[in-house]
């Protein structure tokens, strides 16, 4: 049987970012240094394949420190943790390793700086996401306010409209956030902004790469987990850019080939917590049903790497 031709536009950059790479490495090094088990609070990054791989190596994933027995190391996930968590770990004299991405830590530092300067902090983000819980948890309950939409800005109540600052979740849509920031600036012209963009380089670059291919593609697959913020944003960005037929796929096994009926050009990318082998498995699965050609669309090269905690490399 003759296979239909399918051109894949493979976005670059895609997949793992420096923060995810570092977080996984921290768990692996902790396992090497301290032996099994090493406890990890929350999914180290939002990807089941990564989590299951680390579980096989001896990591145990928990949601609370209460589940960690005495004298075992615990790693905090890349999304960051509320202060209460680090305080509890210190009080119990636990051996803890913080895999919070340094770009999330930078947001926490900004929150503390604004608070020390007497400003009320507004966080732009998605309620319930672990990064948002961690960032809001840098301050007492109720001290920071969360806005998710432009409409939230219009009804926002603040302590002093002339003494405000905003920070953002690192994995938001660049374009949606710009609209929320505009709304904040319209309502509160003196609001202090981050010195440098809070939406991280990896989120920004992956969205830019998706925009580049979305206008040429009949459909788009984003490899990533349903609870991965930056992966979901990639699907949204593809749709807004004009590629309405865009989906999130956890792995090749979820792919229904009939979904590709009538598709000649397929965009393919992956969220920052999705390993490259999952992308390659999708390409391989497509090759079984289609006469595939792959065109790499590399927007830019990333060369960012973060240092590891001293406790693991000493």
Residue number, 65 or 103, with CB nearest to ligand SF4: 103
Query: Which one of 28, 131, 140, 157 is the catalytic residue?
Result: 131
Closest residue by beta carbon to ligand SF4: 19
Distances in Å between the alpha carbon of 263 and those of 218, 224, 236, 246, 259? Answer: 6, 21, 19, 12, 9
Size of the residue set binding ligand SF4 (CB under 6 A): 15
Q: How far apart are CA 275 and CA 51, in angstroms?
A: 11
Q: Which is nearer to ligand SF4, 13 or 19 (CB)?
A: 19
Residue 52 annotated in active site: no
The token pair at 166 is 């905003």
Q: What is the DSSP letter of 257?
A: G
Stretch that binds ligand SF4, among 18-26, 89-97, 182-190, 211-219 (CB under 6 A): 18-26
Spell out, one character per residue from 136 to 175, where the chain touches ligand SF4: x when CB under 6 A holds, - when not.
Answer: ----------------------------------xx----
Q: Which is nearer to ligand SF4, 34 or 306 (CB)?
A: 306
Phi, psi of 195, rounded to the nearest 5 degrees: -60, -40
Is residue 78 a contact residue for ligand SF4 (CB under 6 A)?
yes
Residue 143, classed as helix, strand or coil, is coil
From candidates 20, 38, 50, 144, binder to ligand SF4 by CB under 6 A: 20
Candidates 129, 124, 275, 271; CA nearest to 205 is 271
Among 180, 200, 214, 260, binds ligand SF4 (CB under 6 A): 200
Q: Does 18 bind ligand SF4 (CB under 6 A)?
A: yes
Strand ordering across the sheet containing 4-12 = 246-249, 219-223, 265-270, 4-12, 290-298
Query: Smaller CB distance to ligand SF4: residue 18 or 286?
Result: 18
Q: What are phi and psi of 297, to 5 degrees?
A: -115, 90
User: If we measure between CA atoms, which residue out of 257, 255, 247 comes closest to residue 217?
Assistant: 247
Rounded least distance, CB 99 to ligand SF4, Å? 9
Q: Which is nearer to ligand SF4, 252 or 275 (CB)?
A: 275
Does position 203 interact with ligand SF4 (CB under 6 A)? The reply is yes
**Among residues 284, 226, 228, 293, which one has the least CA distance to residue 253?**
284
With CB under 6 A as the contact rule, the residue among 144, 272, 278, 297 that binds ligand SF4 is 272
19 interacts with ligand SF4 by CB under 6 A: yes
Q: Which of 30, 68, 101, 124 binds ligand SF4 (CB under 6 A)?
A: 101
Position 104 contacts ligand SF4 (CB under 6 A): yes
Closest CA to 278 of 235, 239, 244, 249: 249
Residue 73: which of 99, 52, 49, 51 has the closest Cα? 99
Give me the residues that bind ligand SF4 (CB under 6 A), please: 17-20, 78, 101, 103-104, 170-171, 200, 202-203, 230, 272
What positions carry a catalytic annotation?
A: 131
């Amino acid at each position: 049987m003759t296979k239909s031709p399918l051109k894949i536009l493979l976005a670059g950059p895609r997949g793992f970012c420096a923060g995810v790479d570092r977080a996984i490495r921290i768990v692996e090094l902790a396992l090497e240094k301290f032996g099994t088990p090493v406890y990890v609070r929350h999914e180290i990054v939002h990807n089941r394949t990564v989590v299951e791989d680390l579980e096989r190596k001896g990591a145990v994933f928990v949601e609370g420190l209460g589940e960690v027995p005495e004298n075992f190391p615990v790693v905090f996930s890349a999304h960051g943790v509320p202060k209460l968590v680090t305080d509890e770990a210190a009080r119990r004299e636990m051996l803890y390793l913080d895999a919070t991405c340094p770009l999330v830590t930078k947001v926490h530092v900004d929150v503390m700086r604004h608070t020390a300067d007497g400003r009320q902090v507004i966080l732009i983000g998605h309620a319930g996401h672990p990064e948002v819980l961690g960032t809001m948890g840098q301050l007492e309950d109720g001290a920071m306010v969360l806005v998710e939409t432009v409409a939230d800005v219009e009804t926002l109540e603040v302590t002093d409209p002339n003494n405000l600052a905003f920070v953002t979740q690192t994995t938001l849509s660049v374009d949606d956030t710009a609209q929320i920031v505009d709304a904040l600036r319209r309502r509160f012209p003196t609001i202090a902004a981050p010195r440098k963009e809070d939406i991280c380089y990896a989120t920004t670059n992956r969205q830019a790469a998706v925009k580049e291919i979305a206008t040429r593609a009949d459909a788009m697959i984003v490899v990533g987990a349903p609870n991965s913020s930056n992966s979901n944003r990639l699907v949204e960005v593809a749709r807004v850019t004009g590629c309405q037929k865009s989906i999130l796929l956890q792995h090749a096994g979820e792919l229904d080939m009939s979904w590709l009926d009538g598709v000649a050009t397929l965009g393919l990318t992956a969220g920052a917590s999705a390993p490259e082998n999952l992308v390659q498995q999708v390409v391989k699965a497509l090759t079984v049903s289609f006469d595939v050609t792959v065109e790499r669309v590399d927007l830019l090269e990333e060369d960012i790497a973060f240092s590891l905690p001293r406790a693991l490399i000493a």
